[in-house]
A and B are shown apart, each in its own frame.
Chain A
Amino acid sequence: MGGQPPAGGAAAANAPPTLEQLLVRVAREDHEAFEAVYRRVSAPIYGLVRSVLRNRAKAEEVTQEVLIEIWRMAPRFDQQRGPAQTWVMTLAHRRAVDRVRSEQAAADRETRAASLNTATAFDEVTEQVEARLDRERVRHCLETLTALQRESVTLAYYRGHSYREVSELLDLPLGTVKTRLRDGLIRLRDCLGVTR
């Protein structure tokens, strides 16, 4: 405190470490840091994965896989390429969607196709997802989308449907769904103030 600028790193000594800093420590097999990463990311991962899989037991399994993958791949995390949250949630979403697709390829393809056709599928999706949003900002920004944009983003991202499935579900041409997805995400990006 003697008027000297703090030596490198000491300045942030009392601030909680960022997720990026924690991952750098995890990459050195620091179990304590991984514990802290778990506390930060397990609930978001589980919530997203459960939203896509709509089954608690499967969601728990996939969440565990994703967390182990974060541990395993931490040495390859590079913060120059983007925020840690993006790295983590991209991994989680991809894993959840892989699981849905591999199951689709297997026996319950037809069950899922049937559930796609129920008229209430979308209403249910929106309600569940929006009820869970703990970030008012995201909720607010979702509300700024047109209904079609919001439906497309919700079904594709939160439910893990391919854009072909979304086009069947909403009875819209493929090209329209593509555009709505992109326009919707761009509007969300601007509303949430995301820049690189």
Chain B
Amino acid sequence: MTADTHALTGAYVCDALSEPERVTFERHLLQCETCRQEVAELRDTAALLGAAASAQTPPGLHDRVMAQVRTVRQVTPLATSLALARERRRGGLVRRISWGAAAALVACGVALGVIAVRENHEIASMRQQHEAVSNFLASGDLRTSVGRVSTGGTVTIMSSRRHDAMMIAASGLTPLPSSEAYQVWMKEAGGMRPGPVAHPSADGVIGPMMAKGIGGVTAVTMTVEPAHGSAHPSGNPVLVMRLST
């Protein structure tokens, strides 16, 4: 992207961009390592400016916060929730282990399922997604791969082993009717695991979107599927990318 977009690091860090500009800029960040570094440093700088504006808090705030905290449940750590999501996807697991252990796992799975639902709900909010994206981009071990889509367009994948997650964005894709969408697949030893499903914008852009659990993933592919995605790839892949490690 252009030097013009790059110049937005300052405005981005000050939360001074409009929503569409912010989305565009975060897409640019995916491809621009220098920008990510600059954003991280300018964010530290802005935090110092913020801390310098310190002012005495109103009386009563302390007691209200401490009381409210007793009623608020914390989120689960990202690593835990990613591992759980993966366990749940591997449906075959229970069959291979003893009945006692299976019973324990099922009991556990019920409790964990509740947490997962709550988290899906949270992730639905735009802010959370925004934070997830910007936190992910700040990871130190990001690897970037770019692949060409056979029907047109390119896909950029950034992966972080430490966060056990990848971020996928695409541009220049062939537009699809509303009944169809692009679906990403993770190639693992056990076969193809379904990944995120997205309908491209009118100008052929998707994402950025996050996919979790990349430990055993050797390649990423993409197919055209019905609008809500499929459990197994139904057509030939329009993209095959080996994941750089």
Q: Which residues of A contact B (CB under 8 A)?
A: 27, 29, 31, 34-35, 38, 42-44, 46-48, 50-51, 56, 60, 63-64, 67-68, 71-76, 78, 80-83, 85-86, 88-90, 92-94, 97-98, 129, 132-135, 138-139, 153, 156-158, 160-164, 166, 175, 177-186, 188-189, 192, 194-196
Q: Does more than half of chain B's interface fall in helix, strand or loop, or is it mixed?
A: helix
Contact assessment for A185 and B45 in the assembled complex, using a CB-CB cutoff below 8 Å:
yes
- For window 63-84 of chain B, which residues contact chain A by CB distance below 8 Å? 64-66, 68-70, 72-78
Contact assessment for B50 and A27 in the assembled complex, using a CB-CB cutoff below 8 Å:
no
- For window 17-44 of chain B, which residues contact chain A by CB distance below 8 Å? 17-18, 37-38, 40-44
Residues of B within 8 A of A63 (CB): 57, 61
Contact assessment for B162 and A60 in the assembled complex, using a CB-CB cutoff below 8 Å:
no
Contact assessment for A158 and B53 in the assembled complex, using a CB-CB cutoff below 8 Å:
yes
CB distance from A124 to the nearest CB of B (A): 15
What is the number of residues of chain B that contact chain A, defined by CB distance less than 8 Å? 54
Q: Is B105 an interface residue (CB 8 A)?
A: no
Complex Cα distance A107/B17, Å?
A: 21
Q: Does more than half of chain A's interface fall in helix, strand or loop, or is it mixed?
A: helix
A138 contact from B16, B38, B52, Cβ within 8 A = B52
Residues of A within 8 A of B218 (CB): none
Q: Is B55 an interface residue (CB 8 A)?
A: yes
Which residue on A lies nearest to B11, using beta carbons?
A163
Besides the known contacts A81-B138, A153-B14, A196-B41, 14 further A-B residue pairs in the complex with CB atoms under 8 A apart: A27-B74, A27-B77, A44-B50, A64-B61, A89-B46, A89-B51, A90-B47, A94-B127, A129-B53, A138-B52, A157-B16, A163-B17, A183-B10, A186-B10
A60 contact from B18, B58, B135, Cβ within 8 A = B58
Q: Is B203 an interface residue (CB 8 A)?
A: no
